[in-house]
Structure 1
Amino acid sequence: MTTTPPAPPTTDWWRDAVFYQVYIRSFADGGDDGVGDLAGLRDRLPQLAELGVDALWINPFYPSPMADHGYDVADPRDVEPVFGDLADFDAVLAQAHDLGIRVTIDLVPNHTSDQRDWFVAALAAGPGSPERARYVFRDGQGPDGATPPNNWPSIFGGPAWTRVPDGQWYLHLFAPEQPDLDFTHPEVLADLEQTLRFWLNRGVDGFRIDVAHGMAKAPGLPDVAFDSDTGLFDDHGPDDPRLDQDGVHDIHRLVRRVVDGYPGAMTVGEVWVSSEERLARYLRPDELHSAFNFRLLTADWTTTDLRAAVVDSLAAVATTPAPACWVLSNHDRPRHVTRYGGGEIGTRRARAAALLQLALPGMAFVYNGDEVGMPDVDLPDEALTDPVWFRSGGTDRGRDACRIPLPWSGQEPPYGFSHGTQTWLPMPAGWAGLTVEAQAGDPDSMLSLYRRALALRREVTGELTWDEAPEDCLAFRRDLGDRQLLVLVNLGGEPVRVPAGEVLLVSAELAEGALPVDAAVWLAV
């Protein structure tokens, strides 16, 4: 094994870092099969350094049958051949570190693939076996056990239980190909620790923990008491017996004990919970270093919603050692260009949102494609691949629309994404102006805006203080050397006068000293 030394162990490097989310299938294809891979990522690392990001978060690249595009992990300590091999990963790690970019990777502890050796052995061993004890197998209800053990719905739609030929049922909060592990079993905990050390010893700088509010189920597996006909990741509060159970915190303490043995390594959790108070429990000194707060991602484009998202997110971490963690888009939710209205208006608002997000104190995550203003793409039925589409019987189109491959160069698909002609999800015509190549030389492009914002952000420090603002505007200040950064976002229906100060960055051209509608400005005052 080739080991790569981690970046210098500045313990708190992540507290105000900008992470770039690499959805590996859709970032860059180093070959010609139309699927992004580690070789493609390595080729494009210099461009990410030029963008100015501090760290990567790489979505799962582990061996997987791809029932959920890598979140069904068959081996958590290897690389899926479609993406490369361990030598390719080590090369990405080494080059990223050489460029001053840290590397964090996805950890998927809640479940495995149904093709992992453990689950194959569990099916073969039969009821009551030690092999089955690693997963959540139960007898069914009724005289012949033909009814599932309880009424739990899968987050992907349909029931959360699948029956096996010998009559028992196994639990899967997601797809049937993703059986849940039983974290009361010591071998499951030991395996998690082995996985953490495997990657930390290679030199990774941390982990994004998938479904970090999962893993622990309510004792006795009681029925749910809510309407199960709900959307992906809908939060049902602390009474949901599937998620956010007290036992999950013991698992995070185990993870933290391991990670603390590697100076500078960190964790960020995907935590969908019902309140800021419950989120704060995951951020105690001996648990997660940080957690996504999805308030900004789910907020509407209104002054009330966006201000509440900022206020509540800062309040959530105020009593914890963790910084706030801001995200506008990811691989599970509609991209914010589309969410804000699509087309010209969505792009205009996305530019302003970028200046809002990147001016806030704490960590920021940029989803690959945010920096060029990618929208969602309306795909034909036959192109859809998300298990949500199939599990919902075609009533929920799933998440493919926000996972389209990134356009790099050229006039037509695949826009430099692949050396081949086809891509795993089809890329639309008309994206020539959206490519990295087209935007790199345009000082007014979304890409140029992100580059300048990321460079200026390094000089911004201190807490956020709200400032007086015109109606339907947000205004706040932070420190900028011996001056202050004043951020103004106009969400109203009319241009607003820009206060006196040096204009550092603006998302839309000022008109006679006024900030246009759906625009933001950074001022040094």
Structure 2
Amino acid sequence: MAHELTTPARTPRGRRPAPPDRPDWWRDAVIYQVYVRSFADSDGDGIGDLRGARERLPHLARLGADAVWLTPFYASPQADGGYDVADHRAVDPVFGDLADADDLVRAAHGLGLRVIVDVVPNHTSDRHPWFQEALAGTGRDRYHFHPGKGPDGSLPPNDWESVFGGPAWTRVPDGSWYLHLFAPQQPDLNWECEEVWAEFASVLRFWLDLGVDGFRVDVAHGMVKAPGLPDVGSREQARLIGAQRLPFFDQDGVHEIHRGWRRLLDSYEGRRIAVAEAWAPTPERLALYVRPDELHQAFNFPYLQCPWDADALRRVIDESLRATGSVGAPATWVLSNHDVVRHTTRLGGLRRARAAALLTLALPGSVYLYQGEELGLPEVTDLPDGLRQDPAFRRGEGQDGLRDGCRVPIPWTRDGPSYGFGPGGSWLPQPEGWGALSVAAQTGDPASTLELYRTALAVRREHPALGAGGAVEWLPAPRGVLAFRRTAEGGGVVCVANTTDRAVGIPRPGGPGGRLLLSAAAEEDPVPEDGPRGPAGTVTVAPDSCSWWAI
């Protein structure tokens, strides 16, 4: 059936103009993810908030980002870091109020930054008024309530498991069961209900009218369940996500929802976008989410999960570009986010992290940066169990429950009670010595990771071959080395990444006229001003490094 998303919404002040830019700004945008709780705290309660984020926006502008993506700041009991939403149109008091959200959008636009916010359509909080009504016996068709199995209904309706571990069903006092693919505090919505469609039309319009430039769609592969809710027939189902289609994820019906949202987005002045957090078993299935009449981007999780290996990286890059190119969409590239181990740790150290960042920024498409990666922050692996707040931590057979390690508040200054995060402490303890990695400590140091990112983003923005420039043309290279050329009117760039632990000699990129633009090699590597020299006509590429060459 067709659904028209026409429900109006009221906003406190109305539309704020976005930064002037190309209508297709999103195709090569650098989008910086702010995990609001851990970015900047303005009031000293140890929890990041919208006012703190607004005050730190100049850092993103100086870094060279095009947009900021904010994780949920909506009214929520915080059972899952705000992804359990109790009111989609209200700001949780811990993060501020609606005026703070409005001020942040205006301040970001004033700095030339666009604003993307989360929308969480697969589920609500169990404190949402709708679910409270459902528990009282009314409006249950908005959720998935079903009788249990067995003579007394004491068994769950099927064998589905929560992504966080344990069964995906919880029984209520009247004997029925409700579905929650995540925590029990996150009951799944039933998208066969017209009220759900209308409600999210209103929610999207509310934030679009306030001035946001787009949405990151949480669990964009969810919402629609297979008819009859069939059993999966296996255990440890969380491990199957992205590996095969499941009766509760990546169902074809989700595309009708996304097409409706695309029509809504296109009805607004200025290019408003949506990016899918979608898991699909093949690049071809993922590409369905970014067809011309659906969402604009989808996160590239195969790239995020790829090891630091030349063959594996080339394979993922080729598959990503081929799949998105087949539907005319840009690829996206991401190394870290709020749900995975920071790539400085995951890839095996800062040296590889810097090289991976430069490789990523050389690829065509849009890049997502996670707060603190520009500082080279490692994963915090020694948090006391008693302080962890990941809801999966105490549930078995799901995610590992260790997502808190990438959510530790980031450092801004060399010292202070929370290294500049706020006037008090921080909701998760920061490691001793965190100040040495702070924005203040790295600013102005040409060997720092922060200055590497600033320079890389500036070159990427200015050079015609990078960003939305030419395609990837692979060049011959020794085993363990990736080399590709991108060309456009006005010049070309060769990117060389050595994924091995030894120095490798290669022909000088671009021949005798090739000029080193930027290198991720650490300060201790002897890299002359015009590039590392080898025998005549060759250069030596440092181990675990990446460099850009103007040709």
1:259 match: 265
Q: Do the aligned partners of residues 136 and 395 (structure 1) sit closer, same or farther apart at CA in structure 2, a change above 3 Å counting? A: closer
Q: Give 1:139's aligned amino acid.
A: P
SS in 2 for 1:309: helix
2:354 alignment partner in structure 1: 351
2:334 to 327, 332, 339: 327
| Residue number in structure 2 paired with 1:504 | 517
Matching of residue 105 in structure 1 with residue 117 in structure 2: yes
Q: Answer yes or no: is 1:279 the counterpart of 2:286.
A: yes
CA distance in 1, matches of 2:50, 2:301: 28
Alpha-carbon distance, 1:100 to partner: 0.4
Which of 80, 90, 101 is 1:78 aligned to? 90
Report the Cα distance in structure 1 between the residues aligned to 2:337 and 2:347, rounded to whole angstroms: 15
Matches within 5 A, 1:364-379: 364-378=367-381, 379=383
Contact 1:408–1:435, Cα closer than 8 Å, also in 2: yes
State whether residues 163 and 398 of structure 2, in contact with CA within 8 Å, keep that contact through their aligned partners in structure 1. no
Equivalent residue letter for 2:333: W
Superimposed CA distance per residue, residues 270-320 of structure 1 (whole angstroms, 9 cap, x where no aligned partner) = 011100111111111111111011122100111111111211111120211
After superposition, the C-alpha distances for 1:333-378 in whole angstroms (9 at most, x for unaligned) are 111001012xxxx100000001001010000000001100111102
Q: In the aligned structure 2, how far is the partner of 1:423 from the partner of 1:255?
A: 37
The alignment status of 1:138 with 2:150, answered yes or no, reads no
Mapped partners of 2:312, 2:95: distance in 1: 40
SS at match of 1:20: strand
Note if 1:382 corresponds to 2:390: no
Q: 1:220 aligns with which of 210, 215, 228?
A: 228
Give the AA of the match of 1:436. Answer: V
Return closer, same or farther for 1:418/1:394 CA change in 2, 3 Å cut-off: farther
Corresponding residue SS for 2:74: coil
Q: What does residue 448 of structure 1 align with?
A: 451
Change (3 A) 1:392 1:472: same
1:226-245 aligned within 5 A: 226-228=234-236, 230-231=238-239, 234-238=241-245, 240-245=246-251
Q: Does residue 232 of structure 2 align to residue 206 of structure 1?
A: no
Q: Residues of 1 paired with 2:204 and 2:419: CA distance?
A: 37
Unaligned runs of 5+ in 2: 1-11, 534-538
- Residue 437 in structure 1 maps to residue 466 in structure 2: no
Q: Partners of 1:251 and 1:359 in 2: how far apart?
A: 33
- Answering whether residue 62 of structure 2 is matched by residue 56 of structure 1, we say no
Counterpart of 1:32 in structure 2 is: 44
TM-superposed CA distance for 1:220, in Å, is 0.4
Aligned residue number for residue 488 of structure 1 = 496
Number of aligned residues: 514
Contact 2:224–2:249 (8 Å) recurs in 1: yes
4+ aligned runs moved over 4 Å, structure 1: none
Q: CA deviation at 1:230?
A: 4.4
State the distance in 2 between where 1:303 and 1:396 align.
28
Query: Is the 8 Å Cα contact of residues 413 and 428 (structure 1) preserved in structure 2?
Result: no
Q: Secondary structure at the match of 2:116?
A: strand
Tell me the distance in 2 between the aligned counterparts of 1:279 and 1:12.
Answer: 21
Q: What is the DSSP-based 3-state SS (H/G/I as helix, E as strand, rest coil) of the residue aligned with 2:267?
A: coil
Confirm or deny: 8 A CA contact 2:164 2:397 kept in the other structure: no
> Aligned pair 1:13/2:7, yes or no?
no
User: Using the alignment, how far apart are the partners of 1:205 and 1:123 within structure 2?
Assistant: 36
The code of the aligned residue for 1:242 comes to F
Q: Tell me: CA distance 1:471–1:495, structure 2 relative to 1, closer, same or farther (3 Å).
A: same
Q: Which residue of 2 aligns with 1:514?
A: 540
Deviations 1:387-419 (A, max 9, x none): 010222999342101111011002365110010
Task: Note if contact 1:413-1:427 (Cα within 8 Å) is conserved in structure 2.
Answer: no
Check conservation: 2:473, 2:486, Cα contact below 8 A: yes
Confirm whether residue 22 of structure 1 aligns to residue 34 of structure 2.
yes
Give, in whole Å, the separation in 1 of the partners of 2:395 and 2:412: 33
Correspondence for 1:472 among 470, 480, 501: 480
Contact 1:175 1:387 in 2 (8 A): yes
Q: Is the CA contact (8 Å cut-off) linking 1:413 and 1:429 kept in structure 2?
A: no
How far apart, in 1, do the equivalents of 2:59 and 2:178 lie?
45
Superimposed CA distance per residue, residues 76-107 of structure 1 (whole angstroms, 9 cap, x where no aligned partner): 11111100111111111001101100001011
Give me the CA root mean square deviation: 1.5
TM-score by length of 2: 0.91
Alignment of 1:2 onto 2:13 = yes
Secondary structure of residue in 2 paired with 1:338: helix
Determine the structure 1 residue equivalent to 2:345: 338
Gaps of 5+ in 1: none
Q: What displacement does 1:143 show?
A: 1.2
Q: Per-residue deviation at 1:480?
A: 5.5
Cα distance, 1:230–1:289 mapped onto 2, change above 3 Å: closer
Partner Cα separation in structure 2 for residue 304 and residue 10 of structure 1: 35
Moved more, 192-201 or 389-398: 389-398
Equivalent in the alignment of 2:8:
none
8 Å Cα contact 1:352-1:519 kept in structure 2: yes
Q: CA–CA distance in 1 between the matches of 2:90 and 2:428?
A: 25
Question: In 1, are the aligned partners of 2:241 and 2:280 still within 8 Å (CA)?
Answer: no
1:47 to 51, 55, 59: 59
Structure 2 Cα separation of the partners of residues 217 and 264 of structure 1: 31
Does residue 170 in structure 1 map to residue 182 in structure 2?
no
Match of 1:288 among 286, 295, 312: 295
Q: 1:229 offset after TM fit, Å? A: 5.8
Q: Show CA shifts across 1:39-94 (max 9, x none).
A: 11111111110001000110000000000010000011111110011111111100
The separation in 2 between residues aligned to 1:109 and 1:380, in whole angstroms, is: 33
Q: Deviations over 1:153-198 (max 9, x none)?
A: 0001000000000111000000000000000000000001001100
SS of corresponding position for 2:501: coil
Q: In 2, Cα distance between the equivalents of 1:51 and 1:515? A: 27
Contact kept, 8 Å, 2:331 with 2:364, in 1: the verdict is yes
Residue identity opposite 1:373 in structure 2? G
Equivalent pair of 1:226/1:236 in contact (CA under 8 Å): no
In structure 1, C-alpha distance between the alignment counterparts of 2:471 and 2:168, rounded to whole Å? 44
Give secondary structure in 1 for the equivalent of 2:482.
strand
**Which residue identity lines up with residue 361 of structure 2 in the other structure?**
L
